[in-house]
Amino acid sequence: MNFRHLTSISLFLGISSGWNTDVHNQIGFMAEEFLSPYTASILGQILEPQYNGSIGRAAAWADAYAHTQEGRFSYQWHWIDVHDNPPSSCNLNFTRDCAPGGCVVSAIANQTNILRECIADVESGALTGGTNLTCSYALKWVSHFFGDIAQPLHASERAIGGNLFNVTFGGKIARLHAVWDKWIPYTDANVTAFSTQSIDPFFTALVARIRADKFFEAPYMWLACSDPTTPTECATQWARESNKWTCDYVYGKVDQESDLATNGYTVGAFPIVELQISKAALRLGTWLNKLVGTPETFKHEKQIVLGSTTE
């Protein structure tokens, strides 16, 4: 069966899509920590008023929208069905793997291009108060898909992104996708849920680690491809990073015969989840800053970037 045509079946099954709702919110709140004041002011005019200018509060919208009749066309935009065989082989090819109706890579590219025009409308005074839904949706999609593309199982076709791969977690049967969506982040933070209204301490600590360069990969390297004028190329690179984790750890270390909560699998996944979430947040904040740019009045104002200042 060709999994790229399983959209309607996936909707029927209620298959998981993306980091858990609250994790998406938290990625958005983290990204806000890297926005320039000018970028934040522009985005505040694009979002609908109920979000109070916060991409964090808006970052989970895309999942709920994809499960509506109106928004079901966007469901497949949340992943890319990589035609490989983890853990034996991992090899993402955008041309081969992105479905005709779109995928997370093409969605980031398309919505980025729409968002660029919306930003120009705000700067010209043609758009205020979140009155253009096409623009607000574009920003919400971009904010969401930066999270999705960092979740390893959103770059894997196997078992529909792990949704049909049953494991044991905490003594209960669970989908491998759900384990990565929420149970690993929750266990790492020692919580049962995160806020959907403001940044939580666990994610504040991740922001501090980004600024202090306290990851096993240097944060500046995450921005090697961060040019919104080449969105397909950058998003493909990010998806390849996620896909690699499906071989290196997600399927490479999983054991369906023991409990993932206690056999070391979850603890071993903590650094990966922290890394991928942090990449998503820094990349999103940087992407939006570059899209908005800096007006003449802001050119000489110092902006915080990874704990340093630049002119």
Average pLDDT over residues 267-293: 98
Q: If pLDDT is split at 50, 70 and 90, which confidence band does 297 have?
A: very low
SS3 for 174? strand
Average pLDDT over residues 7-12: 36
Q: Is the pLDDT of residue 9 over 50?
A: no
The 10 Å Cβ neighbour count of residue 297 is 8
Q: If pLDDT is split at 50, 70 and 90, which confidence band does 308 have?
A: very low
Q: What is the DSSP string of 229-265?
A: TSHHHHHHHHHHHHHHHIIIIITTS--TTSBTTTSSH
Beta bridge partners of 168: 173, 259
CA distance 297 to 279: 30
Domains of the chain: 3-310 (1.10.575.10)
SS3 for 173? strand
CA distance 220 to 48: 32
List pLDDT tens digits, range 160-197: 999 999 999 999 999 999 999 999 999 999 999 999 99
CA distance 46 to 13: 34
List pLDDT tens digits, range 84-110: 999 999 999 999 999 999 999 999 999
170: its two tokens: 């905490």
Nearest to 46 by CA among 114, 92, 96: 114
281: its two tokens: 């947040």
- How high is the pLDDT of residue 295? 81
List pLDDT tens digits, range 221-242: 999 999 999 999 999 999 999 9
Please give the angle made by the CA atoms of 28, 147 and 190, to the nearest 5 degrees: 75
- How high is the pLDDT of residue 49? 97
List pLDDT tens digits, range 47-88: 999 999 999 999 999 999 999 999 999 999 999 999 999 999
List pLDDT tens digits, range 244-273: 999 999 999 999 999 999 999 999 999 999
Contact 111, 141 (CB under 8 A): yes
- How high is the pLDDT of residue 19? 84
Written as one letter, the residue type at 289 is N
Average pLDDT over residues 262-291: 98
- How high is the pLDDT of residue 302? 40
List pLDDT tens digits, range 29-49: 999 999 999 999 999 999 999
- How high is the pLDDT of residue 305? 45
Nearest to 287 by CA among 135, 144, 181: 144
Average pLDDT over residues 12-29: 77
List pLDDT tens digits, range 115-155: 999 999 999 999 999 999 999 999 999 999 999 999 999 99
- How high is the pLDDT of residue 291? 97
Average pLDDT over residues 283-311: 67
CA distance 29 to 116: 21
Long-range CB pairs of 89-95 (<8 Å, 24+ gap) are: 89/247, 90/243, 90/244, 90/246, 90/247, 90/248, 91/243, 92/155, 92/236, 92/239, 92/240, 92/243, 94/232, 94/236, 94/239
* Average pLDDT value over all residues in the chain: 91
Q: Is the pLDDT of residue 311 over 80?
A: no
| Backbone angles phi and psi of 260, in degrees to 5 | -65, -20
- How high is the pLDDT of residue 238? 98
Using the 8-state DSSP alphabet, how is residue 183 labeled? I
List pLDDT tens digits, range 202-225: 999 999 999 999 999 999 999 999
- How high is the pLDDT of residue 294? 84
